[in-house]
């Protein structure tokens, strides 16, 4: 892992993510940051999103549709995936995850370090 130097592009990416309460894909970030940096490349967006995620400054959300999404909110929370429109959003529920408390346990010799849970269904907009 290289020492990270400041970059204006990375700051802009972070700033954009901060303004969003949804979970933009790299391409959405790219489209938006382009207004401030017309010459920014998609590769730069990917590199910075991945770097920030690896540093734990943002969260990488993967719900199995083949597209990475990113979230400024790194606190542990659940997501809801609409099966019809594909939207991904926060799920405001206080249901404690069954999986908490599993961390550190070993099952069949496999050491559990974390878990992912997400819910899917039909979103409010698609139900109208």
Contact footprint for DNA (CB under 7 A): 2-10, 25-27, 37, 39-44, 46-48, 50-51, 66-68
Contact between residue 88 and residue 68 where contact means Cβ atoms under 8 Å apart: no
Q: Does 56 bind a second copy (CB under 8 A)?
A: no
* Options 22-30, 35-43, 50-58, 113-121: segment touching a second copy (CB under 8 A): 113-121
Q: Which is nearer to DNA, 51 or 89 (CB)?
A: 51
The CA-atom distances, in angstroms, between 90 and each of 11, 86, 110, 116 are 24, 13, 30, 14
Query: What is the DSSP-derived secondary structure letter of residue 25?
Result: B
Q: Does 118 bind a second copy (CB under 8 A)?
A: yes
Q: Are strands 59-61 and 69-71 parallel, antiparallel or unpaired?
A: antiparallel
Structure tokens at 97: 């995850």
Can you give the binding site for a second copy, defined by CB under 8 A?
A: 62-64, 66, 80, 82-83, 89, 91-93, 95-99, 102, 107-124, 127
């Amino acid at each position: 892992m290289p020492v990270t130097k400041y970059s204006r592009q990375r700051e802009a990416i972070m700033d954009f993510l901060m303004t969003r309460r949804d979970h933009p894909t790299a391409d959405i970030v790219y489209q938006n940051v382009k207004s401030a940096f017309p010459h920014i490349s998609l590769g730069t967006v990917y590199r910075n999103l991945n770097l920030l995620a690896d540093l734990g400054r943002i969260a990488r959300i993967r719900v199995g549709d083949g597209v990475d999404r990113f979230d400024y909110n790194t606190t542990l929370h659940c997501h809801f995936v609409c099966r019809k429109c594909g939207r991904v959003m926060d799920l405001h529920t206080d249901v404690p995850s069954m999986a908490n408390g599993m961390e550190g346990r070993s099952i069949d010799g496999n050491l559990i370090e974390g878990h992912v849970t997400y819910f899917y269904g039909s979103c409010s907009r698609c139900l109208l």
